[in-house]
Amino acid sequence: MKRIALLGMPNTGKSTLFNRLTGGAARVGNWPGITVELLTGKILLGGDMAEIIDLPGIYDIHGFSEDEQVVRHFLHDNVPDLAVVVLNATQIERQLSLLIQLKQLNLNMVVLLNMADEAKKFGITIDGDKMAELLGMPIHLISAKYGQGQPEAMQAITKALRYPTPGMAEALRTQLEQDAHIEHEMARVLSSAVQVPARLSDTRTDKLDSLMLHPWLGLPIFFGIMYLLFQGIFFFGQPLQGGVADLLGWLRETVLDPACAGLPSWMSELLLDGIYNGVSTVAAFVPIIILFFLFMAIVEDTGYLSRAAFLMDALMAKMGLDGRSFVMLLMGFGCNVPALMGTRVMRSRSLRMLSMLVIPFSLCSARLQVFVFITAALFSPKQAPLVLFSLYLFSFAAAIITALLFKRQFANTEPFVLELPPYRFPTGRQMLLRGWHEVTHFLRRASQFIIAGVVLVWLLTNLPASAAPASADTLAGMIGAWLHPLFAPIGINEQLTIALIFGFVAKEIVIGSLAVIYGMSGDALGGALGQQLDWVQAYSFMLFTLIYTPCLSTIATLRNESKNNGFTALALTWSLVLAWVVSFLFYQGARALGY
């Protein structure tokens, strides 16, 4: 199978092109010579399958940031049959240097000048044929967002794959000696093939930025946008969630209950009250997770997250962080793991370590389903979005407190440089592909743990066989009673304690665990929690779930990225201590006020 490497600078639309080429059917794979996983997909070219690898965006092939080293090591140890280089046509004078560096490696290359539609709007004219003649390689203008120029580009890629890639290991060793030639060749090509107006203007972007980046209004607008996002999730998501829950309930009553009637009682209870109740309770939240990722994809792909980083940089600097750290916190709303991996763009190790310490406090999608379930069970439809929004504010507060306490230990001196792309509203296809990719990633992660988790919870709540299910005499009851003195001061009972223990493996298991512990699912489980807990206990439980130890996948990523067992232990211990203290102050404070 032929191998294609997708190369380019950050913010060139490389990921958009990758999703368009692969149709979102991507997977994560390991590669020799590098310690990180890369996104890959298979496409059909000229009757043959080819594998395309989306490499990290870099500015310099011989730079020393982790992303640049990843790309260099990949090319050294996994020589591709073809390199597809994606450049931003609106910034061609800044991006051509990377292309010339890659050319010196003697790679088999096809160059795609993306965002050709925006370049035309800005008045930039690029003679692709002339540039191809000067550089000696195929060059095509495209718009990955709208698919313009894609058929011609795919024909060029298919044709280029027929030719072998020359060896390049020696070129990598000698490349640093050739830097002096890069500036000269850039000037030669730009003067002959590119005409750029004296000033590029985007009136729409300028007008929006005058409001979005306003020194006084910028931050209130940002938090207002996030609040409306959560309102939209509840408004559109709750009816869908209810419909899925009703469908799953009907499936159990009409199909599964009769089908399991002839089985031994223990097996029937394991399959229905254990596995099915746990999995179906989690599955009912998939519509809300889909909406969450769709809305976040809109916010991210429009370019607004870069503005949020700019707005927050001054505040983050006081905590020893910068705007990029804030962007990673926002990425953590989806999943903490890619947010932790995203810190590789930071050259300062101290900044990376402090950022990695605060990122696990982001309210990820797995925690989101726990909070949506509990808020729907104990709070009114008007209160629920406010409660959820308050938890997001608490997640920021936990990150801020952590950064302030540890910034001296991880002092940062790296300057903050940020590129603000023009506003771009993503197409429907982009949003669907992005949402689908994130949801399938979530479901794959969830499926790894949920079934095993609910089976283990069922065993703990049903063994020994002589004990009544979910009673104090079961293994779960004994564990809950043993830990009760620790959790009683924060209002968390034995059943919730068991769910928290399994939440350490994966937060997706928490609601499934409660379904098994109570022997109920859906509205019945929500009703049981509503009768047993008041709002103070429920909110204290959600605060602890928000802040305490991240899931095993996040812990493993922390260890891999930091390469430091002591740092990983610090992150675990600190999150547990902070979660207990915050929940204690809230619970005892609310009780002291008479709630």
Q: Where are the domains of the chain?
A: 2-195, 219-412+428-592
User: Would you say residue 325 has pLDDT above 80?
Assistant: yes
Q: What pLDDT score was predicted for residue 26?
A: 56
Q: What does the block give as tokens for 114?
A: 């993306």
User: Would you say residue 130 has pLDDT above 90?
Assistant: yes
209-228 pLDDT, tens per residue? 888 888 888 888 888 887 78
490-503 pLDDT, tens per residue? 999 988 998 898 88
Q: What pLDDT score was predicted for residue 444?
A: 67
Secondary structure (3-state) at 117: helix
CA within 13 Å, CB half, 114: 25
pLDDT interval class at 104 (50, 70, 90): confident
CA distance 21 to 144: 9
548-561 pLDDT, tens per residue? 988 877 888 888 78
For residue 112, CA distances in Å to 134, 150, 425, 432, 473 come to 15, 9, 21, 24, 67
Is the overall model pTM greater than 0.75, yes or no?
no
343-362 pLDDT, tens per residue? 876 768 899 999 999 999 99
Phi, psi dihedral angles at 464 (to 5 degrees) = -70, 160
CA distance 347 to 357: 16
Q: What pLDDT score was predicted for residue 179?
A: 47
Q: What does the block give as tokens for 417?
A: 């440089």
379-393 pLDDT, tens per residue? 988 888 899 889 989
Give the number of other Cβ atoms within 10 Å of residue 210's Cβ.
10
Q: Rounded mean pLDDT of the chain?
A: 83
Q: What pLDDT score was predicted for residue 448?
A: 61
Q: What is the mean pLDDT of residues 117-123?
A: 85
Peptide bond into 258 cis (omega under 30): no
pLDDT interval class at 234 (50, 70, 90): confident
Give the number of other Cβ atoms within 10 Å of residue 261's Cβ.
8
**Amino acid at the residue 152:** E
248-296 pLDDT, tens per residue? 889 988 999 999 988 988 888 888 877 887 777 777 767 876 787 777 7
Give the number of other Cβ atoms within 10 Å of residue 380's Cβ.
10
Contacts by residues 473-480 (CB-CB < 8 Å, ≥ 24 positions apart): 476/517
User: Would you say residue 33 has pLDDT above 60?
Assistant: no
Class of domain 2-195: alpha beta
Q: Which of 78-82, 95-99, 586-590 has the lowest mean pLDDT?
A: 78-82
